[in-house]
Chain A
Amino acid sequence: MIPAAFDYVRAESAEQAISLIGQYGDDAKFLAGGHSLLPLMKLRLAQPTVLVDIGRLADLSYIRDAGDHIAIGALTRHMDVETSSVLAEHVPLLANAASNVGDPQVRHRGTIGGSIAHSDPASDLPATTLALGATYVAQGPNGTREIAAKDFFLGFLTTALAADELLTEIRVPKITGAGWSFQKFNRRAQDWAIVGVAAWRLNGASGVGLVNMGSTPILAASVSAALASGAGVAEAAELAAAESEPQSDLNASPEYRVHLAKVLVRRALEEASK
Protein backbone atom coordinates (compact mmCIF):
# COMPACT_ATOMS: atom_id res chain seq x y z
CA MET A 1 0.00 0.00 0.00
CA ILE A 2 1.40 3.33 -1.07
CA PRO A 3 0.06 6.74 -0.03
CA ALA A 4 -1.35 9.16 -2.60
CA ALA A 5 1.31 11.56 -3.87
CA PHE A 6 2.24 14.57 -1.75
CA ASP A 7 5.00 17.13 -1.41
CA TYR A 8 7.37 16.93 1.53
CA VAL A 9 9.13 19.73 3.37
CA ARG A 10 11.32 19.30 6.41
CA ALA A 11 11.01 22.07 8.97
CA GLU A 12 14.17 23.32 10.68
CA SER A 13 12.35 25.17 13.47
CA ALA A 14 8.92 25.38 15.09
CA GLU A 15 8.42 28.86 13.60
CA GLN A 16 9.24 27.58 10.11
CA ALA A 17 6.89 24.60 10.52
CA ILE A 18 4.03 26.92 11.49
CA SER A 19 4.66 29.32 8.63
CA LEU A 20 4.90 26.43 6.12
CA ILE A 21 1.59 24.98 7.32
CA GLY A 22 0.04 28.44 7.00
CA GLN A 23 1.48 28.85 3.52
CA TYR A 24 0.21 25.48 2.20
CA GLY A 25 -3.21 25.75 3.79
CA ASP A 26 -5.86 23.18 4.59
CA ASP A 27 -4.41 20.19 2.77
CA ALA A 28 -1.06 20.33 4.57
CA LYS A 29 -0.31 18.27 7.68
CA PHE A 30 2.45 18.10 10.25
CA LEU A 31 4.34 14.79 10.23
CA ALA A 32 5.83 13.81 13.61
CA GLY A 33 6.53 10.08 14.15
CA GLY A 34 4.09 9.23 11.37
CA HIS A 35 2.71 6.22 13.24
CA SER A 36 -0.87 7.42 13.12
CA LEU A 37 -0.73 9.52 9.97
CA LEU A 38 1.18 7.18 7.62
CA PRO A 39 -1.08 4.14 8.24
CA LEU A 40 -4.08 6.37 7.43
CA MET A 41 -2.35 7.68 4.30
CA LYS A 42 -1.46 4.17 3.14
CA LEU A 43 -5.15 3.24 3.41
CA ARG A 44 -5.88 6.55 1.65
CA LEU A 45 -8.17 7.54 4.49
CA ALA A 46 -6.00 10.66 4.63
CA GLN A 47 -4.62 12.33 1.51
CA PRO A 48 -2.74 15.46 2.51
CA THR A 49 -1.03 17.15 -0.45
CA VAL A 50 1.86 18.47 1.64
CA LEU A 51 3.61 17.01 4.68
CA VAL A 52 5.60 19.36 6.88
CA ASP A 53 8.04 17.07 8.70
CA ILE A 54 8.58 18.22 12.29
CA GLY A 55 10.41 15.00 13.19
CA ARG A 56 13.83 16.65 13.32
CA LEU A 57 12.88 19.45 15.74
CA ALA A 58 15.27 18.11 18.37
CA ASP A 59 14.70 21.10 20.65
CA LEU A 60 11.09 19.90 21.10
CA SER A 61 12.26 16.55 22.47
CA TYR A 62 12.89 16.81 26.23
CA ILE A 63 11.57 15.88 29.66
CA ARG A 64 12.31 18.53 32.29
CA ASP A 65 11.56 19.04 35.95
CA ALA A 66 9.84 22.46 35.97
CA GLY A 67 9.08 22.80 39.68
CA ASP A 68 5.42 21.92 40.25
CA HIS A 69 5.13 20.10 36.93
CA ILE A 70 7.12 18.08 34.40
CA ALA A 71 7.48 19.72 30.99
CA ILE A 72 7.59 17.30 28.06
CA GLY A 73 8.44 18.42 24.53
CA ALA A 74 5.81 17.40 21.98
CA LEU A 75 8.36 15.53 19.85
CA THR A 76 9.46 13.30 22.73
CA ARG A 77 9.07 9.67 21.65
CA HIS A 78 7.05 7.12 23.60
CA MET A 79 10.28 5.17 24.33
CA ASP A 80 11.83 8.24 25.97
CA VAL A 81 8.69 8.85 28.07
CA GLU A 82 8.68 5.19 29.10
CA THR A 83 12.32 5.22 30.27
CA SER A 84 12.52 8.73 31.77
CA SER A 85 13.96 8.77 35.31
CA VAL A 86 12.29 12.16 35.95
CA LEU A 87 8.88 10.68 35.16
CA ALA A 88 9.68 7.50 37.10
CA GLU A 89 10.09 9.66 40.18
CA HIS A 90 7.28 12.19 39.77
CA VAL A 91 4.69 10.78 37.32
CA PRO A 92 5.30 7.02 36.95
CA LEU A 93 1.71 6.61 35.69
CA LEU A 94 2.61 8.43 32.46
CA ALA A 95 5.81 6.43 31.91
CA ASN A 96 3.87 3.22 32.42
CA ALA A 97 1.09 4.29 30.03
CA ALA A 98 3.74 5.05 27.38
CA SER A 99 5.23 1.57 27.86
CA ASN A 100 1.80 0.19 26.95
CA VAL A 101 1.68 1.90 23.54
CA GLY A 102 1.91 -0.58 20.66
CA ASP A 103 5.28 -2.34 20.56
CA PRO A 104 8.95 -1.24 20.82
CA GLN A 105 9.19 -0.41 17.11
CA VAL A 106 6.14 1.87 17.40
CA ARG A 107 7.55 3.46 20.56
CA HIS A 108 10.84 4.21 18.78
CA ARG A 109 8.96 6.44 16.33
CA GLY A 110 5.66 7.67 17.80
CA THR A 111 5.64 10.90 19.82
CA ILE A 112 3.57 12.08 22.78
CA GLY A 113 2.60 15.24 20.87
CA GLY A 114 1.48 13.25 17.84
CA SER A 115 -0.62 11.00 20.03
CA ILE A 116 -2.35 13.92 21.76
CA ALA A 117 -2.80 16.00 18.58
CA HIS A 118 -4.26 12.97 16.79
CA SER A 119 -6.56 12.45 19.82
CA ASP A 120 -7.71 8.94 19.02
CA PRO A 121 -10.03 7.98 21.91
CA ALA A 122 -8.42 4.50 21.79
CA SER A 123 -4.94 5.95 22.42
CA ASP A 124 -3.35 5.61 25.81
CA LEU A 125 -1.65 8.98 26.32
CA PRO A 126 -4.56 11.39 25.69
CA ALA A 127 -6.67 9.77 28.44
CA THR A 128 -3.67 9.47 30.77
CA THR A 129 -2.65 13.14 30.47
CA LEU A 130 -6.33 14.08 30.86
CA ALA A 131 -6.50 12.09 34.12
CA LEU A 132 -3.34 13.88 35.27
CA GLY A 133 -4.84 17.33 34.67
CA ALA A 134 -2.19 18.22 32.07
CA THR A 135 -1.90 21.50 30.21
CA TYR A 136 -0.95 21.53 26.53
CA VAL A 137 1.03 24.38 25.00
CA ALA A 138 0.20 25.36 21.41
CA GLN A 139 2.25 27.69 19.24
CA GLY A 140 0.65 29.49 16.31
CA PRO A 141 1.52 32.38 14.01
CA ASN A 142 0.52 34.86 16.74
CA GLY A 143 2.32 33.29 19.68
CA THR A 144 1.65 30.57 22.22
CA ARG A 145 -1.35 29.66 24.36
CA GLU A 146 -2.06 27.08 27.04
CA ILE A 147 -5.01 24.72 26.75
CA ALA A 148 -6.21 22.61 29.68
CA ALA A 149 -6.53 18.93 28.74
CA LYS A 150 -10.19 18.98 29.81
CA ASP A 151 -10.91 21.69 27.19
CA PHE A 152 -8.79 20.14 24.43
CA PHE A 153 -10.65 17.07 23.10
CA LEU A 154 -13.70 18.35 21.22
CA GLY A 155 -14.88 15.31 19.26
CA PHE A 156 -13.69 12.25 17.35
CA LEU A 157 -10.12 13.08 16.17
CA THR A 158 -10.97 16.75 16.75
CA THR A 159 -9.07 19.03 19.13
CA ALA A 160 -8.92 22.68 20.13
CA LEU A 161 -5.74 23.09 18.01
CA ALA A 162 -6.13 25.36 14.98
CA ALA A 163 -4.81 23.98 11.69
CA ASP A 164 -1.76 26.23 11.88
CA GLU A 165 -1.03 25.57 15.55
CA LEU A 166 1.79 23.30 16.62
CA LEU A 167 1.56 21.43 19.91
CA THR A 168 4.92 22.18 21.51
CA GLU A 169 4.78 21.07 25.14
CA ILE A 170 2.81 18.89 27.53
CA ARG A 171 2.85 20.03 31.17
CA VAL A 172 2.01 17.33 33.66
CA PRO A 173 1.53 18.22 37.34
CA LYS A 174 3.80 16.23 39.64
CA ILE A 175 2.06 13.55 41.68
CA THR A 176 5.18 12.44 43.55
CA GLY A 177 4.35 9.60 45.91
CA ALA A 178 0.83 9.07 44.57
CA GLY A 179 -0.75 5.65 44.23
CA TRP A 180 -1.44 4.93 40.57
CA SER A 181 -2.51 2.28 38.11
CA PHE A 182 -2.76 1.83 34.36
CA GLN A 183 -5.14 -0.87 33.20
CA LYS A 184 -5.27 -1.86 29.56
CA PHE A 185 -7.71 -4.54 28.48
CA ASN A 186 -7.08 -6.18 25.13
CA ARG A 187 -7.19 -9.67 23.72
CA ARG A 188 -3.90 -9.83 21.84
CA ALA A 189 -0.42 -8.50 22.51
CA GLN A 190 0.29 -5.17 20.81
CA ASP A 191 -3.42 -4.34 20.34
CA TRP A 192 -5.07 -1.09 21.26
CA ALA A 193 -7.16 -1.06 24.43
CA ILE A 194 -10.73 -2.31 24.17
CA VAL A 195 -11.06 -0.24 27.35
CA GLY A 196 -8.23 1.34 29.31
CA VAL A 197 -8.03 3.19 32.63
CA ALA A 198 -5.40 5.59 33.99
CA ALA A 199 -5.88 6.43 37.67
CA TRP A 200 -4.01 8.10 40.53
CA ARG A 201 -4.75 9.03 44.17
CA LEU A 202 -2.82 11.41 46.41
CA ASN A 203 -3.91 12.92 49.72
CA GLY A 204 -7.64 12.75 48.99
CA ALA A 205 -7.29 13.99 45.42
CA SER A 206 -7.60 11.67 42.44
CA GLY A 207 -7.87 11.51 38.66
CA VAL A 208 -9.35 8.82 36.43
CA GLY A 209 -9.12 8.81 32.63
CA LEU A 210 -10.81 6.32 30.31
CA VAL A 211 -9.50 4.99 27.00
CA ASN A 212 -11.96 4.00 24.24
CA MET A 213 -15.16 4.84 26.13
CA GLY A 214 -16.53 7.43 23.71
CA SER A 215 -15.60 9.64 20.78
CA THR A 216 -12.96 11.42 22.91
CA PRO A 217 -10.78 10.42 25.85
CA ILE A 218 -13.01 10.62 28.94
CA LEU A 219 -12.39 12.13 32.39
CA ALA A 220 -14.37 10.06 34.90
CA ALA A 221 -15.05 13.05 37.14
CA SER A 222 -17.92 11.35 38.99
CA VAL A 223 -15.54 8.70 40.30
CA SER A 224 -13.17 11.33 41.70
CA ALA A 225 -16.10 13.30 43.19
CA ALA A 226 -17.41 10.16 44.92
CA LEU A 227 -13.97 9.34 46.34
CA ALA A 228 -13.59 12.93 47.56
CA SER A 229 -16.88 12.70 49.44
CA GLY A 230 -15.79 9.53 51.19
CA ALA A 231 -17.14 6.75 48.97
CA GLY A 232 -15.23 3.46 48.95
CA VAL A 233 -13.46 2.13 45.88
CA ALA A 234 -16.19 -0.34 44.89
CA GLU A 235 -18.92 2.29 45.25
CA ALA A 236 -16.98 4.93 43.29
CA ALA A 237 -16.14 2.43 40.52
CA GLU A 238 -19.86 1.90 39.87
CA LEU A 239 -19.87 5.47 38.51
CA ALA A 240 -17.04 4.72 36.07
CA ALA A 241 -19.08 5.17 32.91
CA ALA A 242 -21.18 8.15 34.04
CA GLU A 243 -19.45 10.50 31.58
CA SER A 244 -19.01 7.91 28.80
CA GLU A 245 -20.87 7.21 25.59
CA PRO A 246 -19.10 4.07 24.40
CA GLN A 247 -19.47 2.88 20.86
CA SER A 248 -19.88 -0.57 19.40
CA ASP A 249 -17.18 -2.21 17.28
CA LEU A 250 -15.86 -5.67 16.40
CA ASN A 251 -14.38 -6.08 19.87
CA ALA A 252 -17.15 -4.96 22.17
CA SER A 253 -20.72 -3.72 22.52
CA PRO A 254 -21.39 -0.52 24.48
CA GLU A 255 -22.83 -2.59 27.36
CA TYR A 256 -19.70 -4.72 27.55
CA ARG A 257 -17.52 -1.60 27.51
CA VAL A 258 -19.50 -0.14 30.43
CA HIS A 259 -19.02 -3.39 32.33
CA LEU A 260 -15.29 -3.37 31.57
CA ALA A 261 -14.93 0.26 32.63
CA LYS A 262 -16.46 -0.48 36.05
CA VAL A 263 -14.30 -3.55 36.61
CA LEU A 264 -11.10 -1.86 35.40
CA VAL A 265 -11.72 1.34 37.39
CA ARG A 266 -12.26 -0.76 40.51
CA ARG A 267 -9.03 -2.67 39.87
CA ALA A 268 -7.17 0.55 39.13
CA LEU A 269 -8.40 2.25 42.29
CA GLU A 270 -7.58 -0.81 44.38
CA GLU A 271 -4.03 -0.76 43.03
CA ALA A 272 -3.78 3.02 43.44
CA SER A 273 -5.02 2.77 47.06
CA LYS A 274 -2.33 0.36 48.23
Chain B
Amino acid sequence: MCQPLGGTTIRRGSLIMQITVIVNGAVHTSEVEPRTLLVHYVRETLGLTGTNIGCDTSSCGACSLHLNGEAVKSCTILAVQADGQDITTIEGMAAADGTMHPMQQAFMENHALQCGYCTPGMVMAASSLLKENPDPTEREVRLGLEGNLCRCTGYHNIVQAVLAAATNGANR
Protein backbone atom coordinates (compact mmCIF):
# COMPACT_ATOMS: atom_id res chain seq x y z
CA MET B 1 0.00 0.00 0.00
CA CYS B 2 0.88 3.62 -0.30
CA GLN B 3 3.37 4.42 2.46
CA PRO B 4 5.36 7.56 3.11
CA LEU B 5 9.02 6.53 3.07
CA GLY B 6 10.42 7.08 6.57
CA GLY B 7 11.38 10.33 8.26
CA THR B 8 9.33 13.30 9.34
CA THR B 9 7.73 15.79 6.99
CA ILE B 10 10.02 18.77 6.51
CA ARG B 11 7.49 20.81 4.64
CA ARG B 12 4.12 19.97 3.18
CA GLY B 13 4.50 18.33 -0.18
CA SER B 14 7.99 16.97 0.35
CA LEU B 15 6.90 13.39 1.06
CA ILE B 16 7.77 10.68 -1.42
CA MET B 17 5.33 7.78 -1.58
CA GLN B 18 5.81 4.19 -2.54
CA ILE B 19 3.30 2.68 -4.96
CA THR B 20 2.85 -0.77 -6.43
CA VAL B 21 0.96 -1.13 -9.70
CA ILE B 22 0.41 -3.90 -12.20
CA VAL B 23 1.12 -2.58 -15.69
CA ASN B 24 0.52 -4.84 -18.69
CA GLY B 25 0.69 -7.80 -16.33
CA ALA B 26 4.01 -6.89 -14.66
CA VAL B 27 4.25 -5.70 -11.06
CA HIS B 28 6.14 -2.42 -10.54
CA THR B 29 7.04 -0.84 -7.22
CA SER B 30 8.18 2.78 -7.50
CA GLU B 31 8.76 5.90 -5.48
CA VAL B 32 6.78 8.90 -6.67
CA GLU B 33 5.91 12.41 -5.57
CA PRO B 34 2.17 12.61 -4.79
CA ARG B 35 1.80 15.21 -7.55
CA THR B 36 3.17 12.87 -10.22
CA LEU B 37 0.52 12.38 -12.89
CA LEU B 38 -0.15 8.81 -13.98
CA VAL B 39 0.74 9.67 -17.58
CA HIS B 40 4.18 10.96 -16.52
CA TYR B 41 4.71 7.90 -14.34
CA VAL B 42 3.88 5.53 -17.19
CA ARG B 43 5.96 7.40 -19.77
CA GLU B 44 8.95 8.53 -17.75
CA THR B 45 9.33 6.08 -14.88
CA LEU B 46 8.24 2.96 -16.74
CA GLY B 47 9.39 4.12 -20.20
CA LEU B 48 6.08 3.18 -21.82
CA THR B 49 5.88 6.09 -24.25
CA GLY B 50 3.02 4.68 -26.33
CA THR B 51 0.63 6.66 -24.13
CA ASN B 52 0.76 10.18 -25.56
CA ILE B 53 0.17 13.60 -24.05
CA GLY B 54 -1.90 15.81 -26.32
CA CYS B 55 -3.65 18.65 -24.54
CA ASP B 56 -2.60 18.05 -20.94
CA THR B 57 -5.98 19.57 -19.97
CA SER B 58 -8.26 16.49 -19.87
CA SER B 59 -9.79 17.22 -23.27
CA CYS B 60 -8.12 15.23 -26.06
CA GLY B 61 -7.98 11.63 -24.83
CA ALA B 62 -4.47 10.99 -26.26
CA CYS B 63 -3.40 9.85 -22.78
CA SER B 64 -6.20 7.26 -22.43
CA LEU B 65 -5.24 3.94 -20.87
CA HIS B 66 -7.15 1.29 -18.96
CA LEU B 67 -7.41 1.46 -15.19
CA ASN B 68 -8.98 -1.78 -13.95
CA GLY B 69 -10.18 -2.41 -17.50
CA GLU B 70 -11.84 0.96 -18.09
CA ALA B 71 -10.58 3.83 -20.25
CA VAL B 72 -9.47 6.87 -18.24
CA LYS B 73 -7.45 10.01 -19.00
CA SER B 74 -4.09 9.45 -17.34
CA CYS B 75 -3.24 13.17 -17.38
CA THR B 76 -6.06 13.67 -14.87
CA ILE B 77 -5.14 10.93 -12.39
CA LEU B 78 -2.35 10.91 -9.85
CA ALA B 79 0.03 7.95 -9.88
CA VAL B 80 -0.71 7.51 -6.15
CA GLN B 81 -4.42 7.09 -6.97
CA ALA B 82 -3.47 4.08 -9.13
CA ASP B 83 -1.59 2.38 -6.29
CA GLY B 84 -2.59 -1.29 -6.06
CA GLN B 85 -4.55 -1.09 -9.32
CA ASP B 86 -4.31 -2.82 -12.68
CA ILE B 87 -3.23 -0.74 -15.67
CA THR B 88 -3.11 -1.61 -19.37
CA THR B 89 -1.39 0.68 -21.85
CA ILE B 90 -1.26 0.37 -25.64
CA GLU B 91 1.94 -1.68 -25.24
CA GLY B 92 -0.11 -4.31 -23.41
CA MET B 93 -2.76 -4.75 -26.10
CA ALA B 94 -0.95 -7.10 -28.49
CA ALA B 95 -0.54 -10.74 -27.45
CA ALA B 96 2.84 -11.97 -26.19
CA ASP B 97 3.65 -13.39 -29.64
CA GLY B 98 3.07 -9.99 -31.23
CA THR B 99 -0.40 -10.74 -32.63
CA MET B 100 -2.25 -7.47 -32.64
CA HIS B 101 -5.39 -6.95 -30.57
CA PRO B 102 -8.48 -7.12 -32.82
CA MET B 103 -8.98 -3.39 -32.28
CA GLN B 104 -5.44 -2.61 -33.47
CA GLN B 105 -5.95 -4.93 -36.43
CA ALA B 106 -9.23 -3.18 -37.30
CA PHE B 107 -7.53 0.23 -37.15
CA MET B 108 -4.88 -1.02 -39.56
CA GLU B 109 -7.30 -2.63 -41.98
CA ASN B 110 -9.65 0.35 -42.04
CA HIS B 111 -6.92 2.96 -42.42
CA ALA B 112 -8.13 4.56 -39.19
CA LEU B 113 -5.01 6.64 -38.62
CA GLN B 114 -2.91 9.18 -40.43
CA CYS B 115 -0.27 10.80 -38.21
CA GLY B 116 -1.07 8.26 -35.50
CA TYR B 117 -0.79 10.62 -32.55
CA CYS B 118 -4.33 10.04 -31.32
CA THR B 119 -4.25 6.32 -32.12
CA PRO B 120 -3.11 4.76 -28.82
CA GLY B 121 -5.77 6.74 -26.95
CA MET B 122 -8.38 5.90 -29.60
CA VAL B 123 -7.61 2.17 -29.38
CA MET B 124 -7.80 2.21 -25.59
CA ALA B 125 -11.06 4.20 -25.55
CA ALA B 126 -12.59 2.07 -28.31
CA SER B 127 -11.72 -1.25 -26.67
CA SER B 128 -13.15 -0.02 -23.35
CA LEU B 129 -16.31 1.06 -25.21
CA LEU B 130 -16.81 -2.40 -26.72
CA LYS B 131 -16.49 -4.02 -23.31
CA GLU B 132 -19.40 -1.89 -22.10
CA ASN B 133 -21.36 -2.00 -25.33
CA PRO B 134 -20.33 -5.03 -27.42
CA ASP B 135 -22.58 -4.24 -30.38
CA PRO B 136 -22.80 -0.45 -30.73
CA THR B 137 -24.53 1.54 -33.43
CA GLU B 138 -22.53 4.08 -35.39
CA ARG B 139 -23.99 6.84 -33.24
CA GLU B 140 -23.01 5.01 -30.06
CA VAL B 141 -19.45 4.66 -31.36
CA ARG B 142 -19.29 8.39 -32.07
CA LEU B 143 -20.64 9.23 -28.62
CA GLY B 144 -18.35 6.66 -27.01
CA LEU B 145 -15.31 8.32 -28.57
CA GLU B 146 -16.48 11.80 -27.61
CA GLY B 147 -13.47 12.21 -25.32
CA ASN B 148 -10.88 11.55 -28.04
CA LEU B 149 -9.85 14.15 -30.58
CA CYS B 150 -8.26 13.37 -33.93
CA ARG B 151 -6.89 16.21 -36.03
CA CYS B 152 -6.26 14.13 -39.15
CA THR B 153 -8.80 11.53 -40.11
CA GLY B 154 -12.15 13.27 -39.83
CA TYR B 155 -13.16 10.28 -37.64
CA HIS B 156 -14.94 8.38 -40.42
CA ASN B 157 -12.47 5.51 -40.69
CA ILE B 158 -12.01 5.37 -36.92
CA VAL B 159 -15.74 4.78 -36.53
CA GLN B 160 -15.64 2.16 -39.32
CA ALA B 161 -12.74 0.41 -37.58
CA VAL B 162 -14.58 0.21 -34.27
CA LEU B 163 -17.71 -1.14 -35.96
CA ALA B 164 -15.58 -3.70 -37.81
CA ALA B 165 -13.81 -4.67 -34.59
CA ALA B 166 -17.16 -5.23 -32.89
CA THR B 167 -18.02 -7.89 -35.46
CA ASN B 168 -14.48 -9.35 -35.35
CA GLY B 169 -14.40 -10.21 -31.69
CA ALA B 170 -12.69 -7.17 -30.17
CA ASN B 171 -15.64 -6.95 -27.81
CA ARG B 172 -14.65 -10.09 -25.94
Q: Does B76 lie within 8 Å of A109, measured CB to CB?
A: yes
Which residues from chain A contact B12 at a C-beta distance below 8 Å? 5-7, 27, 49-50
Interface membership of chain A positions 50-92, coded 1 if the CB is closer than 8 angstroms to chain B and 0 otherwise: 1101010000000000000000000000010000000000000
Closest to A190 in B: B146
Known: A105-B73, A108-B70. A7 touches B9 (CB 8 A): yes
A162 contacts the other chain (CB 8 A): no
Residues of A within 8 A of B90 (CB): none
Contact B76 A39, beta carbon cutoff 8 Å:
yes
A42 part of interface (Cβ distance < 8 Å): yes
Query: Are A8 and B146 neighbours in the complex by a CB distance under 8 Å?
Result: no
Contact B57 A1 (CB under 8 A): yes
Q: Is the interface of A mostly helix, strand, loop or mixed?
A: mixed
The interface size of chain A toward B, counting residues with CB under 8 Å, comes to 32
- In the complex, are the beta carbons of A34 and B147 less than 8 A apart? no
Give residues 21-46 of A contacting B (CB, 8 Å).
Answer: 27, 31, 34-35, 38-39, 41-42
- With A39-B57, A189-B146 as contacts: A5 and B76 at CB distance below 8 Å: no
Given contacts A42-B56, A104-B128, contact A6 B71 (CB under 8 A): no
Please tell me if B17 contacts chain A, counting CB pairs below 8 Å.
yes
Q: How far is the CB of A171 from chain B (nearest CB, A)?
A: 27
A contact set with B: CB distance below 8 Å: 1-8, 10, 27, 31, 34-35, 38-39, 41-42, 49-51, 53, 55, 79, 102-106, 108-109, 189-190
What residues of chain B have their CB less than 8 Å away from a CB belonging to chain A?
Answer: 1-2, 9, 12-15, 17, 33-37, 40, 56-59, 61, 64, 67, 70-73, 76-78, 80-81, 83, 125, 128-129, 132, 142-144, 146-148
